[in-house]
């Protein structure tokens, strides 16, 4: 099965390895990337000498007889590149977020509805072993109908969103679309309910300042005393984490929260933070019914079921798996099966569109101080 890649970024290169591992019949046939010479040199070192390189997606899609396409560009190009693939009715693997603004979201929805392409959105958390266990417990009826959800994501590596290219909100669409999109998706996968309204708020209390735009840590006079300095950090940092997070051009809020109401009348609260560190990390949710509560945390791999009317507490410890609690492997395998027409998507573009809609409307709510309706109008 021949796969074409549009945007050979770090994340998609990892997913590609999982795809090739999942099915030996798969191979990367062609790549489109503005850094094609650099990528070609790197892949030649790995013995990948059969790959063809193109300047534009149109050239690749019209020239090659592909069985599927994968998109790993920067976020603001996901919609445009996705639409090009959808026009060819090819199986599509697309990174999240599927769109970074409402206009692109509508364009992608319309293009998807007019296409025959099956799609897999890169939402590995929804198919992790830990989320699947929580879903199994809830569907068993053990805790009753879920009537309230509290979810958090306290990110210990938040500096990446202020010291690398992720600080550019034009490219990323903001931190609801960067992080919350994953969490809202796995919650949707568990609940299976339709959200109808959102209100949200964001804050930028820490990563702000008056340092000059474009300033890099290595050039800053405070790089020996600044706690966020990449020059003397105890952590092994990605070399692209190089910009001053206290500069005047540092984008992104450093915390955000949203309340979502559902058709049933229940509501869900979600909060994310980007300046906590180390043991303060937390990512998970509590699902509460009348009979009991189930909660979990991705970092600990522990699921607990608290029964409300007995003294019983059930505890499950889940092995993490190699990547995203096994989610990456499952999505990769699913994509190979879709190309072979032996399975349907377990993370559809409809799922990607809903998650992006929830995030975009949350951003609009935070910006305007208004409740936002989750619709397509």
Asked if 164 contacts 158 with a C-beta cutoff of 8 angstroms, the reply is no
Query: Which residues contact residue 330 at a Cβ distance below 8 angstroms, ignoring those fewer than 6 apart?
Result: 124, 127, 346
The alpha-helical segments, DSSP class H, found in 64-121 are 78-86, 102-113
Taking the alpha carbons at both ends of the chain, their separation in whole angstroms is 39
Averaged pLDDT, 325-334: 91
Residues 58-88 pLDDT 10s: 999 999 999 999 999 999 999 999 999 999 9
Using 50, 70 and 90 to split pLDDT, how confident is the model at 238?
Answer: confident
Rounded CA gap, 53 and 32, in Å?
6
**Residue closest to 94 by CA, chosen among 111, 114, 118:** 118
**pLDDT category, 232, cuts 50, 70, 90?**
confident
**Which H or E element spans position 294?**
strand 292-297
Mean pLDDT of the 219-243 span = 83
Token pair listed for 233: 């950090």
pTM: 0.95
Identify the bridge partners of residue 92 per DSSP, sorted by sequence position: 69, 119
Q: What is the pLDDT of residue 231?
A: 79
Structural domain boundaries in the chain: 2-124+327-346, 126-323+357-373
Q: Which two tokens stand for residue 6?
A: 């549009």
pLDDT at 324: 59
Percent of the chain predicted with pLDDT > 90? 90
Read off the pLDDT of residues 246-269 as tens digits, 9 standing for 90 and up: 999 999 999 999 999 999 999 999
Using the predicted structure, report yes or no on whether residue 239 has a pLDDT greater than 90.
Answer: no
> How long, in residues, is the chain?
377
The class level of CATH for 126-323+357-373 reads alpha beta
Report how far apart, in Å, the C-alpha atoms of 26 and of each of 18, 242, 339, 346 are.
11, 37, 10, 19
pLDDT of residue 326: 78
> How much is the average pLDDT of 188-202?
97
pLDDT bucket at 320, cuts 50 / 70 / 90: low
Task: Give kind and range of the element (H or E) at residue 303.
Answer: strand 302-307
Please state the rounded mean pLDDT for residues 124-136. 96
The C-alpha angle 334, 340, 345, rounded to 5 degrees, equals 35
Under a CB-based contact definition with an 8 Å cutoff, are residues 351 and 188 in contact? yes
pLDDT for res 247 = 95
**Ordered strands of the 372-373 beta sheet:** 313-317, 302-307, 292-297, 282-288, 148-154, 267-273, 255-262, 195-203, 372-373
Q: Using 50, 70 and 90 to split pLDDT, how confident is the model at 322?
A: very low
pLDDT in tens, 26-43: 999 999 999 999 999 999
Distances (CA, A) of 367 to 189, 203, 307, 360: 27, 11, 40, 11
Q: Are 154 and 232 in contact (CB under 8 A)?
A: no
Residue 9 has pLDDT above 80, yes or no: yes
**Number of neighbouring beta carbons within 10 Å of residue 136:** 11
Given this structure, which CATH class describes domain 2-124+327-346? alpha beta
Q: If DSSP codes are grouped into helix, strand and coil, which group holds residue 25?
A: coil
The CA–CA distances, whole Å, from 310 to 33, 277, 296 equal 59, 36, 20
The more confidently predicted of residues 233 and 370 is 370
Average pLDDT estimate for 357-371: 98
Mean pLDDT lowest for which of 1-15, 60-74, 141-155, 319-333? 319-333
Orientation of helix 181-191 relative to helix 349-368, angle to 10°: 120
Examine the pLDDT at 368 and tell me if it is beyond 90.
yes
Owner of token pair 């790959």: 51
């Amino acid at each position: 099965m021949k796969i074409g890649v549009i945007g050979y970024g770090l994340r998609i290169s990892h997913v590609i390895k999982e795809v090739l591992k999942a099915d030996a019949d798969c191979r990367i046939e062609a790549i489109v990337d503005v850094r094609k010479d650099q990528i070609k040199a790197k892949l030649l070192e790995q013995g990948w000498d059969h790959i063809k390189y193109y300047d534009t997606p149109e050239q690749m899609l019209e020239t090659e007889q592909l069985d599927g396409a994968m998109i790993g560009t920067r976020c603001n190009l996901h919609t445009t590149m996705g639409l090009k693939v959808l026009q060819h009715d090819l199986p599509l693997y697309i990174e999240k977020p599927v769109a970074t603004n409402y206009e692109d979201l509508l364009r992608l929805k319309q293009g998807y509805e007019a296409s025959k392409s099956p799609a897999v959105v890169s939402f590995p958390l929804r198919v992790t072993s830990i989320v699947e266990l929580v879903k199994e417990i809830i569907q068993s009826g053990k805790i009753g109908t879920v009537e309230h959800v509290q979810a958090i994501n306290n990110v210990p590596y938040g500096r990446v969103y202020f010291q690398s290219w992720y600080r550019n909100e034009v490219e990323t669409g903001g931190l609801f679309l960067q992080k919350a999109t994953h969490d809202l998706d796995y919650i949707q996968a568990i609940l299976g309910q339709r959200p109808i309204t959102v209100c949200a708020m964001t804050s930028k209390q820490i990563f702000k300042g008056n340092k000059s735009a474009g300033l890099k840590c290595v050039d800053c006079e405070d790089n020996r005393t600044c706690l966020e300095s990449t020059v003397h950090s105890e952590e092994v940092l990605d070399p692209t984490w190089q910009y001053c997070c206290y500069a005047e051009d540092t984008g992104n809020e450093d915390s955000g929260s949203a309340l979502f109401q559902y058709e049933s009348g229940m509501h869900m609260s979600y909060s994310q933070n980007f300046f906590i560190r180390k043991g303060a990390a937390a990512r998970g949710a509590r699902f509460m019914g009348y009979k009991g509560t189930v909660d979990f945390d991705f970092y600990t791999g522990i699921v607990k079921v608290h029964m409300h009317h007995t003294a019983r507490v059930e505890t499950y410890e889940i092995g993490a798996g190699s990547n995203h609690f096994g989610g990456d492997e499952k999505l990769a395998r699913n994509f190979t099966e879709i190309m072979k027409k032996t399975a349907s998507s377990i993370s559809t573009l409809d799922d990607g569109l809903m998650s992006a809609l929830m995030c975009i409307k949350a951003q609009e709510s935070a910006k305007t101080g208004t409740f936002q309706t989750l619709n397509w109008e």
